[in-house]
Structures are given as structure tokens and as C-alpha cells.
Structure 1
């Protein structure tokens, strides 16, 4: 799988997750699937209902509303993103345990050691595989 996202979209995700510090932030990325290319078109931001710096939670009702909107737009669910305010951009045990769909990627934004790091993973059962983030031009 090739994860395609614009620099502007990455910047928006980083700004949103940074604004939510010291809490974890989370959201969904939707868009198109073309062969092996997953192309982000939209960013859906959530409020972390736990207000926690080490976990995130969004109610099923709020997620269902976004999924319904994604379906109405004929988009695909590409990835779930969240931040690690103090941990590295590596999936935690909880991240892996609660990730339900291996076709949906996981994007983690880390602010550990006052440095911003963004990584993308495919999660399968008890393993994770890093995916390359391809930054594309706005009109691609």
C-alpha cells in the first residue's frame, strides 16, 4: 500500500494534534483507493473524549456519523490518525489491540523529545509494518 497525502494535509494534521496537547488527538482520513495507492482527500477531526495524554476515545455515535458522511461522499476510510504527546511514533500495545481493520492504516504523530515525527503503519493481528508516506502535490 502506498499512502499519499499532501504537505498541506500533513501540516493540518500536525497543527490539530499540536493544538490538542497535552492530550492525545485523533481523527480519520478518507479518500480514494486507486490500485495500491491510498489517496487522502479529507481530514475528519475528533475531540478526545478521555482528555488523556496516553489514550484516546471517541464515542461510536460520533464515529458512525463520520463514517456515514464518508459513505455519502463515496470516499473510502484510508486511515485513523492519532498523536503520541510524549511517546515515539510507534504503535503501542493498545493501538495494536484495538485496531480492528488491517485495510485501514494507522498514522501516528509524535511530539516526543520536543520533535515532531509522523509515521504510517499497516496493523495486522499482533504486528505492524511501517508504510512509506508519499507527499504529493495539491492537484495530484
Structure 2
């Protein structure tokens, strides 16, 4: 299975992650209801106490994002966040923190400044993160 992502959303995640450095950026991935193509992203403020190594969505923005998406017939297909100094692989905090196995999970790595990387995962029933090929559209 491969996941399609609009080029504009890819660029927004890169820009957001770069602007937030050295802190972790975070946000959501949106797709039209019934479609698997991610067409938009939305930033959500990171309110974690240790923003350089973890993230937590601002609760009010998270609720508002649900309403905003619903009014536009969009589904929250996943979440994204950055790893300012680590690879684009789920950390132990990431594994412990993601509860919904249906959500996609994008990680932006800023470790190599000259070649930023985004990887997309979904958790399976064995609680393992499976990396999915990402196709830009």
C-alpha cells in the first residue's frame, strides 16, 4: 500500500518543522472523506513541557481542528511531527503515545539539514510501526 500526499502539504510540513527547530513541530494530515490522498495539513501548537524532544497537541486547537475538518468534509487521516535531531523513525515516546492504529503517522527528520526526510507509518495490530511508501502528487 502506498499513500499519496499533495506536494503542497509535504512542503508545509518541511517549512513548519524548519521554523519550529530546535523544537518539535506537530500537526494533522487531512484527506477528503472516503479518499486516501492527503490533501492538506494543519499546524497545531506543541504544548509539551519538553518541546525539543516531545510533542503534545494544544487541546483547544485539536478540538477546533476536528470541527474545521468536519465542516469541510475532511477526515483527520493522520498526524505529523518532527524529530529535530533524530531519524524519521518512531521513538519509544512515539510508540507509547499513539493510540489510534487507523491514523497515519508522519515523521519529519531534520537530522541531515541538506536532505530533510519525511517517512509515513501506521501501527499494525502487533503494535509495530509499518513504513508506507509516500507518493507526492
Show the counterpart of 1:42. 40
Gaps of 5+ in 2: none
Q: Is the 8 A contact 2:6 2:40 kept in 1?
A: no
Misfit runs of 4+, over 4 Å: none
**Cα distance in structure 2, aligned partners of 1:132 and 1:12:** 19
Report the number of matched residues: 134
Q: Is the 8 A contact 2:30 2:38 kept in 1?
A: yes
**Cα distance in structure 1, aligned partners of 2:130 and 2:107:** 13
Per-residue Cα deviation, 1:77-116 (whole angstroms, up to 9, x for no partner): 1110000000100001111111121111000000114341
Show the counterpart of 1:5. 5
- 19-28 vs 54-63, which moves further: 54-63
Show the counterpart of 2:28. 28
Alignment of 1:30-109 (within 5 A): 30-32=30-32, 34=34, 38-50=36-48, 52-109=51-108
**Cα distance in structure 1, aligned partners of 2:87 and 2:70:** 33
Report the 3-state secondary structure (helix = DSSP H, G, I; strand = E; otherwise coil) of the residue aligned with 2:37.
Answer: strand
Q: Is the 8 A contact 1:89 1:119 kept in 2?
A: yes
| Distance apart, 1:33 and its partner CA | 5.5
Gaps of 5+ in 1: none
TM-score norm. by structure 1 comes to 0.87
- Alignment root-mean-square deviation, CA: 1.6
Question: Higher strand proportion, which one?
Answer: 1
Show the counterpart of 2:133. 132
Report the 3-state secondary structure (helix = DSSP H, G, I; strand = E; otherwise coil) of the residue aligned with 1:81.
Answer: strand
